[in-house]
Structure formats: C-alpha cells, structure tokens
C-alpha cells in the first residue's frame, strides 16, 4: 500500500443536533492508490457525503487520521491542489463564463499564466465544450455544466478526484455521457477517482466497489 | 491579482452581462451622498470664502481705527515696520448728499489715497467702467447701485454736498457744493456695498469733511501667509500708548456673519454625513443579501482551496469597489456641478421663483463655490471608509461560514 495517495484510518463522525447525537460511522478505514478508481454506494443517509467531506478535509472527524500523499498537512491550502471535487449540484460561479470557471480553480491555488490558460482551453475542448467557453452557467445545459465542473476539478492536475453523485441531477442519457467522460479522463490522466453513486452500473466500471451500510464500509469487489 | 479581488470585480461586473442591480443601486447611493456633500460643503464654504475675500478686498486684512488720526504719515511708517505687513493706506469715511439732474442720493463716502490704495484695496479689480488713473481730486467713483439710482455715467458731473455745508450755514458762511466728474463705476458683488457708496480722493474727503490732515483709519494689507491675529497684536503693541487707536482683523469685523456661516456649514455636514451612513447601511444590507444568496457558493470557494479569510475579502472588496467608484463619480460630478453652480442655482431659482430672496439673505449676486483639497480628502476617506465598513460586516458573515455547512444550506 506504499503507492496509496489517500489514506484514512479509524474515522469516526458524530453529528450533534440539539441534545441528540447521531453517529454516522465509528470506525471507517479507506485508502486509494494512485490512478485507481473506487466507487462507494449506500442507501440515502448512510453517510456517503459525510465520508467524502472527511476525505476532502472539508469537515473534521471526531477521531481518526487522514493523510494525503505528499502533503504534510490536510487543509484549505493543500486541498485546491491535491483533490478535485465534483458535486451533484455543479456549483459553478454564475458570474463567470465556462472558461473562467475552470480557471478559477487555478486562480485560488496559484497564478494564471499563459500555460494555465492553455490548459483550461485544452480541458474545455476535452470535455467537448470548445465552442461554449464564453457561455455563462445559466446559458449551459445541466450536462454541460457538469462537464465544466469536471474540467474545473481537473484543472490543477489533482492526485485524486472526489465525485459525490456527479450525475444525480442529470437524465439517464446525459448521465451516461458525463460518466463516460469522467471515467475516461481519470483513466487517461491516471488520476485516482472516488465515485459516490447510486447506480450499480457506474459502480461496476470502477476498479473497486464499496458499500456503506450502518456505519461500516464493506468492500463488494 | 488575487482571486478574491478578481471575483469581487466579476460579481460586480459579470462577464458578458450588463452591470448587476446591486452594483448600480449601491454605487448610485454612494455617488449621490458624495455629490451632495461636495456641493453643500462647496457652497457653504463658498459663502464664507467669498465673504472673507470681499471683506479683505474692501478694507484690507487689518484696520487701524481712531477718531482722528492726524499723524498718519508717521503712523504708517510705524505700522509698515511690523513684520508681516505688506502695504498700508489711509482712509476716511462719512455720508454725503449726491445729486445728479435733480435726483438726490445719500451714499456713504470713502476718501482713499490714490497713491497707495490699490496695494491694499484693489478697486481696479472691481471696476466695471473707467479707471483708477482718472481718480483725481475732482473725480468720483460710484458703486454700480448708486450710479444706477442717480442715472449717472462715466463723465457725468455730480454735485456733492457734505454735512459741513450745513454746519457752515449755522455759522453764516456759505460753502459752495462741490462738482465732481464720474471717473469709474465698480461692483464688488455684494448687495450692500454696491448699493450706495462713492469713492473720492483722500484730499477731497478731508476738504468735504473739514478734517484738515487727519484721517479716520489706516488699512493694512498683509504679506501672503502672515497671520492676521498675530500681526494685529504686534501693531497694537507698537501703537503709541494712550492714542485711542486700535487694530482689528477682518475676522473680528465680520465675526457674527462668519460664525453663523460656520455653524450652518457644520449642521449641514452632519446631516449629509448621516445620509452617507444611511447609504452605507444600504450597501451593507445588499452585501449581506449577497452573502446569504451565495452561501453555497462560498462553500465552493472553500472546496476549491480558499481560506475563509480570502472568501471574506471577496465581499469586503465589493464594498470597497462600490465605495471607491461611487466616491469617484460623486467627486467628479460634484466638482463639475460646483464650477457651474451659478447657472444651476439660477435655473432652480427660476423654477421656484425665489432668487431675489436668496440675494437678499446672502447679499451675493452670484452663488459662490469654494472647496479645498483637505475638504475633498475628508469626504473621500469618509465615504470609502463607510463602504469598506459595510463590506467588512458582510465579510465577517462570509468568513464564519464553514464550507460543508455552507454547501448543505438550502
Ligand atoms: N450537519 C448535520 N447535522 C446533523 N446531521 C447530519 C448533518 N449532515 C448530515 N447529517 C445526517 O448524517 C447522515 C448522513 O448524511 P449524508 O449526507 O452523509 O448521507 P448520504 O449517504 O450522502 O445520503 P444521500 O445518498 O441522500 O446523499 C444523515 O442521516 C443525515 O441526516
Ligand atoms: Mg449525499
């Protein structure tokens, strides 16, 4: 497991609302190797999003450890370079056009130089939106928006992409094409992928499959 | 450019779209506040400035007064040596009757020394017609109002009767009325001063009033940068003891009016400053709405690697940008308005129909405007400062959001 890019051990997460406590999971181990693809399925409310947030260090666990390969610390500054996150609800910035949205990932973590612009244009082309660069998110279809989000996630050449139900808001046909794109692009660029999905067909297309149920993460395959 | 500055800019001016409602509304708010502040301060200080210029131009910065000063040459010599004094001129004043073509008038009369007067009281500057060079002992310069009332023009011969004539009548001697030629007509732009004043040579005045060699006062012009109060004090110290003469500054003679203006200016500034505070509240609430509306998006900045502090700066900068833009517009348009304030005021007065009333109250026939660089600087700092504060309030709200919670919000 020396080539592992992301390792989490004994994660425990409890939500507190008022005086009630809800333990989502108490002891989850997770790791993913460089360039590997892993899917996580589970019922609604089983804690998939919670786990993904912990892996992205967007949220902190009650206990347990998280390590990003090559990063001394997990946190805001490292996140932008190390992980690319794709959400169900796209989350593009409405004031920026497609190209600028992709560039935003670099803007936050570093500098915009001609090389960055070239990479953004190349990614836009790769996700099939070459002629949509100047469209605002409101001028793009759902599938196109998620393609922009995929390109944005890849902008900084992250080691791992965390995708939380990336096709949840899309119709079946669009979802298929976005999923083809995501899996294809990750394989091409040897970027590790953690895919949270409800769809067993998509899960099957990853190298390993997990199922999250009642606080335990069980390997299916 | 840091990303938060870039994004702040883009949120105000999105790509390929017209400016947002927020940008327009808040910029116009700041603009209106600053514009008003510039105009009001400009006009209020304009009255003060114009009034002080006028007092100084009509009497010099310092007046030395006594009942009868008969050793004026010697006294002027003493005063001229006081440091800060640039020039001195003697004067005498009184009231006479002037008649032209059976139209009598009772103006104030001032006797000035043609040799030295221009260095202290620049009458030439205010002459509408004629020339100071023509002011000899048989000539008179009339104020515009007086010339109009008499129907006299340049070259008209007017008859002057002094109170001395009546006095002589009591002593059974007769004094011939004096005939003087109008050599000039002036207008200071101040209603009272332009209404009814005649200027003659000092020698003529001494004759009309039987003053002999004595004068009523000495007017003093200061060197640029000299402090009037300080020089007046120094003059008072050098004046011969027991001479019953006293030097006072123009600020002391116009004190009441200048004080009223100062109070008025202060009140108006307070009121308009409140207007800007209200505008700042508008900017704050609009930015807070933006923060609330963009809660999920702020979570996204975090997911892309931003620190909460950076996300906060994005909103803070929007306040700063709006404030700077509005202030810039306000100052520019404000200064443009001030430089055309007179025609604008006349237009407004014509609509409301109270121009005469305004002239009556403020005595000026032109609306003056005067604004100093420090005044403008204070306005800018205040307006931009308030908008920045507005931005900061919104920024703190944004900084408190945790990315996960922000993105889960509905
Ligand atoms: N901030 C919170 N406070 C309290 N409880 C929470 C909070 N966030 C999530 N939960 C609870 O934790 C559990 C796991 O939530 P999570 O969003 O991870 O589920 P999920 O597996 O992603 O579900 P879905 O498939 O519907 O997206 C849920 O029962 C949810 O109610
Ligand atoms: Mg979820």
- d(C-alpha B238, C-alpha B79), whole Å: 8
Atom of ligand 1 nearest to the CA of A88: 27
List the domain boundaries for chain B: 3-52+257-408, 85-222
Per the CB < 8 Å rule, is B15 touching A80? no
For B105: left if phi > 0, alpha if psi spans -120 to 50, otherwise beta; the answer is beta
The residue whose C-alpha atom lies closest to atom 17 belonging to ligand 1 is: A49
Rounded to 10 deg, the angle between the B21-59 and B308-339 helix axes is 40
Q: What is the pLDDT of residue A74?
A: 82
pLDDT tens digits, B175-229: 778 899 999 999 887 777 788 899 999 999 998 888 888 899 999 999 888 888 8
| φ/ψ of residue B14, rounded to 5 | -60, 155
- d(C-alpha B59, C-alpha B228), whole Å: 13
Residue in B15, B296, B403 closest to A97 by CB? B15
Q: How would DSSP label each residue in B39-71?
A: HHHHHHHHHHHHHHHHHHHHH-SEEEEEEEES-
- d(C-alpha B58, C-alpha A163), whole Å: 84
Report the gap between the CA of A187 and the closest CA in chain B (Å): 22
Instruction: Name the nearest CA neighbour of A128 among A105, A158, A150, A154.
Output: A150
| φ/ψ of residue A103, rounded to 5 | -65, -25
Per the CB < 8 Å rule, is A108 touching B15? no
Find the residue in A nearest to B307 (Cα).
A76
Q: What is the pLDDT of residue B361?
A: 64
Instruction: Give residue A55 CA to ligand 1 midpoint distance, Å.
Output: 15
Per the CB < 8 Å rule, is A108 touching B407? no
- d(C-alpha B242, C-alpha A70), whole Å: 96
Per the CB < 8 Å rule, is B303 touching A134? no
For A145: left if phi > 0, alpha if psi spans -120 to 50, otherwise beta; the answer is alpha
Measuring from each residue's beta carbon to the nearest atom of ligand 1, which residues come in under 6 Å?
Answer: A 15, 17, 22, 24, 42, 44-50
List the domain boundaries for chain A: 4-219
Q: Is B160 in a helix, a strand, or coil?
A: strand
Q: What is the pLDDT of residue A1?
A: 46
- d(C-alpha A32, C-alpha A26), whole Å: 20
Set of chain B residues whose Cβ sits within 8 Å of the Cβ of A95: 7, 10-11, 14-15, 17
Q: What is the pLDDT of residue B182?
A: 93
Instruction: Give residue A211 CA to ligand 2 midpoint distance, Å.
Output: 14
pLDDT tens digits, B54-98: 888 888 888 888 877 888 888 888 888 888 889 999 999 899 999
Per the CB < 8 Å rule, is B297 touching A96? no
ipTM: 0.90
What pLDDT tens digit does each residue of chain A (221 aa) get?
447 899 999 999 999 888 898 999 888 999 999 999 999 999 998 999 999 999 999 888 999 999 898 777 888 888 888 999 999 888 999 989 999 999 999 999 988 999 999 999 999 998 889 999 999 999 999 889 999 999 999 999 999 999 999 998 888 888 998 999 999 999 999 999 999 999 999 999 999 999 999 888 989 87
Instruction: Give residue B129 CA to ligand 1 midpoint distance, Å.
Output: 91
Atom of ligand 1 nearest to the CA of A17: 4
Nearest ligand for residue B408 CA:
1
Query: CB contact, 8 Å: A97 with chain B?
Result: yes
Find the residue in A nearest to B10 (Cα).
A95
The residue whose C-alpha atom lies closest to atom 27 belonging to ligand 1 is: A44
The residue whose C-alpha atom lies closest to atom 5 belonging to ligand 1 is: A15
Residue window 105-144, chain A: list those with CB within 8 Å of chain B.
105, 107-109, 134, 136
Low-confidence ranges of chain B (pLDDT < 50): none
Q: What is the pLDDT of residue B159?
A: 92
Q: How many residues does chain A have?
A: 221
Instruction: Name, in order, each residue with C-beta under 8 angstroms of B407's C-beta and a sequence gap of 6 or more.
Output: A87, A91, B296, B299, B300, B303
Q: What is the pLDDT of residue B364?
A: 67
Q: How many CB atoms lie within 10 A of CB B360?
A: 10
Q: How would DSSP label each residue in B350-391?
A: HHHT-HHHHHHHH-BSS------HHHHHHHHHHHHHHHHHHH
Instruction: Give residue B55 CA to ligand 2 midpoint distance, Å.
Output: 80
Q: What is the pLDDT of residue B362?
A: 65
Per the CB < 8 Å rule, is B306 touching A59? no
- d(C-alpha B66, C-alpha B202), whole Å: 16
Per the CB < 8 Å rule, is B3 touching A104? yes
The residue whose C-alpha atom lies closest to atom 25 belonging to ligand 1 is: A44
Instruction: Give residue A202 CA to ligand 2 midpoint distance, Å.
Output: 16
Instruction: Give residue A24 CA to ligand 1 midpoint distance, Å.
Output: 8
Find the residue in B nearest to A136 (Cα).
B15
Q: Which CATH architecture has domain A4-219?
A: 3-Layer(aba) Sandwich (3.40)
Per the CB < 8 Å rule, is A80 touching B7? no
Residue in A81, A87, A96 closest to B10 by CB? A96
Direct distance between the N- and C-terminal alpha carbons of chain B, in angstroms, rounded to an integer: 32
Residue of A11, A12, A13, A15 with the most ligand 1 atoms within 8 Å of its CB, for mutation: A15
Instruction: Name the nearest CA neighbour of B79 among B176, B205, B190, B217.
Output: B217
Distances (CA, A) of B169 to B93, B108, B166, B172, B205: 22, 22, 5, 5, 19
């Amino acid at each position: 497991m020396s080539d592992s890019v992301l390792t989490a051990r004994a994660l425990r997460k409890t939500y507190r609302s008022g005086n009630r406590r809800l333990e989502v999971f108490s002891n989850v181990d997770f790791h993913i190797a460089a360039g590997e693809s892993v899917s996580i399925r589970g019922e609604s409310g089983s804690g998939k999003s919670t786990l993904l947030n912990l892996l992205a260090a967007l949220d902190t666990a009650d206990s347990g450890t998280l390590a990003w390969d090559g990063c001394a610390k997990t946190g805001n500054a490292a996140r932008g370079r190390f992980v690319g996150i794709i959400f169900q609800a796209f989350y593009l910035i409405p004031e920026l056009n497609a190209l600028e949205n992709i560039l935003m990932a670099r803007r936050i973590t570093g500098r915009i130089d001609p090389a960055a612009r070239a990479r953004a244009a190349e990614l836009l082309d790769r996700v099939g939106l070459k002629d949509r660069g100047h469209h605002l998110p409101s001028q793009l279809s759902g599938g196109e928006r998620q393609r922009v989000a995929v390109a944005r996630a890849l902008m900084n050449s992250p080691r791992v992409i965390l995708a939380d139900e990336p096709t949840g808001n899309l119709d079946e046909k669009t979802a298929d094409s976005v999923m083809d794109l995501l899996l294809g692009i990750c394989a091409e660029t040897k970027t590790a992928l953690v895919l949270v999905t409800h769809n067993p067909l998509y899960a099957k297309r990853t190298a390993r499959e997990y199922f999250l149920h009642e606080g335990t993460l069980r390997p299916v395959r | 450019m840091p990303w938060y500055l870039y994004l702040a800019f883009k949120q105000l001016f999105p790509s390929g779209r017209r400016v947002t409602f927020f940008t327009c509304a808040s910029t116009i708010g700041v603009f209106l506040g600053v514009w008003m502040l510039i105009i009001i301060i400009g006009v209020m200080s304009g009255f003060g400035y114009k009034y002080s210029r006028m007092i100084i131009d009509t009497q010099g910065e310092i007046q030395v007064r006594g009942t009868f000063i008969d050793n004026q040459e010697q006294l002027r010599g003493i005063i001229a040596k006081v440091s800060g004094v640039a020039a001195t001129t003697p004067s005498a004043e009184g009231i006479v009757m002037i008649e032209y073509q059976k139209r009598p008038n009772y103006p104030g009369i001032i006797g000035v020394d043609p040799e030295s007067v221009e260095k202290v009281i620049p009458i030439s500057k205010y002459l509408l017609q004629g020339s100071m060079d023509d002011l000899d002992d048989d000539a008179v310069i009339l104020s515009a109002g007086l010339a109009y009332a008499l129907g006299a023009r340049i070259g008209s011969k007017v008859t002057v009767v002094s109170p001395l004539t009546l006095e002589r009548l009591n002593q059974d001697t007769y004094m011939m009325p004096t005939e003087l030629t109008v050599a000039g007509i002036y207008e200071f732009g101040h209603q009272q001063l332009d209404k009814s004043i005649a200027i003659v040579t000092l020698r003529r005045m001494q004759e009309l009033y039987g003053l002999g060699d004595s004068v009523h006062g000495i007017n003093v012009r200061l060197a640029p940068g000299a402090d009037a109060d300080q020089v007046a004090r120094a003059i008072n110290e050098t004046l011969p003891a027991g001479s019953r003469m006293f030097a006072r500054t123009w600020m002391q003679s116009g004190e009441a009016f200048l004080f009223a203006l100062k109070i008025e200016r202060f009140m108006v500034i307070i009121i308009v400053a409140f207007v800007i505070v209200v505008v700042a509240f508008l900017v704050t609430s609009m930015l807070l709405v933006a923060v609330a509306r963009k809660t999920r998006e702020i979570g996204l900045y975090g997911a892309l690697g931003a620190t909460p502090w950076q996300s906060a700066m994005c909103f803070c900068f929007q306040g700063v940008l709006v404030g700077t833009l509005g202030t810039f517009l306000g100052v520019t348009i404000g200064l443009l308005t001030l430089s055309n304030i007179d025609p604008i005021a006349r237009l407004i007065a014509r609509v409301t129909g109270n121009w005469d009333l305004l002239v009556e109250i403020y005595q000026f026939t032109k609306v003056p405007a005067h604004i100093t660089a420090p005044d403008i600087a204070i306005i800018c700092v205040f307006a931009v400062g308030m908008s920045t504060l507005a931005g900061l309030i919104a920024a703190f709200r944004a900084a408190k959001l945790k990315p996960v919670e922000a993105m889960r919000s509905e």
